[in-house]
Amino acid sequence: MLEEFVSDWKSHGTPVKGYANLFYGQFIMLMADETASGVSGCSTDSSVRLIKAIEERFQVQLFDRLTLAFQRDGKTQMVPLSQFAYALENGLITAETLYFNNTVLTKDELATKWLIPVKDSWLGARYSLHLPSKEILRK
């Protein structure tokens, strides 16, 4: 589905030079080379339709922004945001646990800022992970 979409991806009738892949069996990456052709609302809408079609076909949820993804022991683990503090307090997640920062917007950010320690993410700032662990629990 991803290959078919990218091969026919258009913006106002102009082909979009794109790339799509599934990483870690969990993350769909869609990229457009905007130096070759711009991406418009219509081409973005078509990518959203693709993701919704994948959700329907495979009975998965891909637009849930309240689920966080981490890499522990070489495996991708999903944690609901509502359970993050519990996981942190109980040592299931630490400041050094790798976090999939799905807010990256460019290919460079994907390469350098996608898989980062929790302490370097927005979660690190929100939960004051620069403090010693005992101080975190008192907050």
Tens of pLDDT, residue by residue, the chain (139 residues): 999 999 999 888 888 899 999 999 899 999 998 887 777 788 888 999 999 999 999 999 998 889 999 999 999 999 999 999 999 999 999 999 999 999 999 999 999 999 999 999 999 999 887 544 444 444 4
Residue bearing tokens 């350098």: 112
DSSP character at residue 119: G
pTM: 0.81
- CA-to-CA distance for 65 and 61, rounded, in angstroms? 10
Residue bearing tokens 């979660």: 123
Bridge-based pairing state of the strands 27-32 and 67-72: unpaired
